[in-house]
Structure 1
């Protein structure tokens, strides 16, 4: 955790609730965008893998191979995020966010010129970098690009609080995870609406969210827990 150590009573800038919620919004938004525009999912590689094998087992290899590039691009993005963590230290989150912004702006500008494959690859790399770089909220593992694990933790924390013996703050953690699920869903709804109504400008909205994340990563003081 370096100098911003949760165990010492502080929360890393990139693990604060505000930043993680913004990232969840962007995650849901980008998934909706890629599904509508490219027919694949940027974040949910589980779904892409299922579609790949479902089409393959039906003998529709053209549709099956359509889901291979985003899976491979996601793997590349994870490698980039892991490399940044090694070489950039505490600045890795900010640098990763800046790279994501540049990629999204580039794809947005070239929306009508890039083939579908190029756009899909770029957005999957963006999703993977976010997935690999921002993995905690207030020191607890979470996801900003899918809700399965967040929903599990939300429900488990409620059960622990109701059953008794749960540590202080358990219900608060549950609320945070439910908020992540809700904001991800809101992002997906916003992404679907914007992609249908303003497809050429749709990627500008997650860029704004990521710009706010970048500014907060660079300027926000650490938050101290009570």
Structure 2
């Protein structure tokens, strides 16, 4: 779809604004958590690749290799999400959220015993699954684990409205993408605060957000965008 379709019954349940905003909050929270605890980013593999090669070119292979596990785990998460879409079809979104919840609970339990394995591998897999399964809001492509594309769409749509002749719904579309950026930032702020103050319980917050997403995904049958 070229514009957000907001007609009644036209939006899939897993593409509603409510759900993608909750996922954006969880995405920002998890990235802040992994950066503070492990010094890597769960979602932004671009940054991990840059840090990998910057340190490799400086000859510091210990630091460089520190960024390899999350990249590999992210790859594994994408493969898992692709497999879920193939075998589960329309239920892939709900099942992926359930897997994310289980992973985060296990990570929270194992954090004190196996912090590196639990943090860098488990959380990057969670982030990968979310980025691969939840890719649209009301039919328009978006991201719930990073803001670069969302920011671009916000600016482009504001420009289109200001320039004139923008299609109906463009301003709403811009507002939604702006909200995704803002909520992601709020999630990062909450993640930083919770990780510093209650590190052993911090992951419970994104788990709650994901539980709400799971309940909303399963609340009513989802309609396919037409």
Could you tell me the TM-score, scaled by structure 2's length?
A: 0.94
Q: Deviations over 1:172-205 (max 9, x none)?
A: 0000000000000000000000000000000000
Say whether the 8 Å CA contact 1:6–1:12 is kept in structure 2.
Answer: no
Matching of residues 81-100 of structure 1 within 5 Å: 81-100=81-100
Change (3 A) 1:42 1:204: same
The alignment partner of 1:78 has SS state of: helix
| Aligned equivalents of 1:118, 1:216: Cα separation in 2 | 28
| Aligned equivalents of 1:118, 1:204: Cα separation in 2 | 15
Gap regions ≥5 residues in structure 1: none
Question: Do residues 168 (structure 1) and 168 (structure 2) align?
Answer: yes
Aligned equivalent of 1:157:
157
Aligned equivalent of 2:16:
16
Aligned equivalent of 1:40:
40
Change (3 A) 1:80 1:187: same
Question: Do residues 78 (structure 1) and 78 (structure 2) align?
Answer: yes
| Aligned equivalents of 2:45, 2:67: Cα separation in 1 | 9
Aligned equivalent of 1:55:
55
| Aligned equivalents of 1:205, 1:220: Cα separation in 2 | 25
| Aligned equivalents of 2:120, 2:140: Cα separation in 1 | 30
| Aligned equivalents of 1:17, 1:143: Cα separation in 2 | 12
Gap regions ≥5 residues in structure 2: none
Q: Deviations over 1:18-77 (max 9, x none)?
A: 000000000000000000011100000000000001101110000000000100100110
Say whether the 8 Å CA contact 1:10–1:222 is kept in structure 2.
Answer: no
| Aligned equivalents of 1:222, 1:166: Cα separation in 2 | 29
Aligned equivalent of 1:179:
179
Say whether the 8 Å CA contact 1:6–1:139 is kept in structure 2.
Answer: no
| Aligned equivalents of 1:42, 1:48: Cα separation in 2 | 9
Aligned equivalent of 1:110:
110
The alignment partner of 2:167 has SS state of: coil
Aligned equivalent of 1:194:
194
Question: Do residues 128 (structure 1) and 128 (structure 2) align?
Answer: yes
| Aligned equivalents of 2:82, 2:114: Cα separation in 1 | 28
Could you tell me the TM-score, scaled by structure 1's length?
A: 0.94
Question: Do residues 25 (structure 1) and 28 (structure 2) align?
Answer: no
Q: CA deviation at 1:220?
A: 3.8
Q: Deviations over 1:110-131 (max 9, x none)?
A: 1111141332100000000000
| Aligned equivalents of 1:118, 1:21: Cα separation in 2 | 26
The alignment partner of 1:11 has SS state of: coil
| Aligned equivalents of 2:50, 2:136: Cα separation in 1 | 27
